Structure 1
């Protein structure tokens, strides 16, 4: 069994134990999630309020119980995740992948930011070009970026590695 982080709980919502959820929209397809320090919980209800996802978990029926879960990480079992369309990726699958520019490894993916219109790779440098292990932000945007099994290939973007 392999667990992957899919998000975190935000503030409680209303009085019946709802929690705002920040993370992968895949939570809408899951019957259960693993809550940091609290184990597996069934997802009883899920809906959107003003553009935010609200989750109700089994056993969390009051605002007070929900407050105890604020800020905790939420995980899913890899096998429970629905398949994605070609060209889409789960964030966890990109973490740790090497990043290449002009055939040379310049770093590896250490985080992914949701910047609204597009996702942004946080790449920590390795090797000769980025000896100081500086972090760079690279838009995860085709056609500049190709994701393949052996790594992420980025076309040179002026100023990115200067």
Structure 2
């Protein structure tokens, strides 16, 4: 398991006194300030976060060590990472995306389908991107109990029940 988890990103400067526009990736956006200090991805910089106000597309925030608009603009695109032990424990049926990425995915018969390359959330639920040797294209699989009945983080594997890819004959489903 990763020691740090990405919880947000700096979207740019806000105002003229070093405030930043912050995108929070936490389930409750304001909770991002509770997980500090937050780190840059390379771990070379750390920031304490003080939220100032809601802004279009995110949150206004003051970060330690950022005092001017130029300092804030220079951080645009920087992802913010929290130490795992600062984050809340999850129920048994919930997972941090970072823990799913890289897991091997098998069908119910034990045949390797591939590995989780990415996890996407476009608002209607998480989708696993699965790719493996011999696959012509990635498999996009809804991360629901119907398609993914078993996730075993400790064993590093997922059991999935993907739709039959051979059924794609170009005809509409009836």
TM-score (norm. length: structure 1)? 0.80
> What is the alpha-carbon distance in structure 1 between the residues aligned to residue 63 and residue 146 of structure 2?
40
The alpha-carbon distance between structure 1 residues 58 and 87, as it changes in their structure 2 partners (threshold 3 A), is same
The alpha-carbon distance between structure 1 residues 142 and 47, as it changes in their structure 2 partners (threshold 3 A), is farther
Deviation at 1:19, TM superposition (A): 2.3
Structure 1 residue ranges, 4+ long, deviating more than 4 angstroms after superposition: none
1:45 to 48, 51, 63: 51
Q: Gaps (5+ residues) in structure 1?
A: none
The alpha-carbon distance between structure 1 residues 48 and 89, as it changes in their structure 2 partners (threshold 3 A), is farther
Partner of 1:136: 139
Deviation at 1:51, TM superposition (A): 5.7
Deviation at 1:55, TM superposition (A): 3.6
Asked if 1 retains the 8 angstrom alpha-carbon contact of 2:10 and 2:20, the reply is no
> What is the alpha-carbon distance in structure 2 between the residues aligned to residue 121 and residue 46 of structure 1?
35
Partner of 2:5: 4
Q: Gaps (5+ residues) in structure 2?
A: 169-174
TM-score (norm. length: structure 2)? 0.75
Asked if 2 retains the 8 angstrom alpha-carbon contact of 1:136 and 1:160, the reply is no
Task: Work out whether 1:123 is the aligned partner of 2:118.
Answer: no
Asked if 2 retains the 8 angstrom alpha-carbon contact of 1:21 and 1:54, the reply is no
Cα-Cα RMSD: 2.7
Task: Work out whether 1:85 is the aligned partner of 2:85.
Answer: no
Count how many residue pairs are aligned between Structure 1 and Structure 2: 158
Asked if 1 retains the 8 angstrom alpha-carbon contact of 2:35 and 2:83, the reply is no
Deviation at 1:24, TM superposition (A): 3.8
Deviation at 1:107, TM superposition (A): 0.5
Deviation at 1:133, TM superposition (A): 6.5
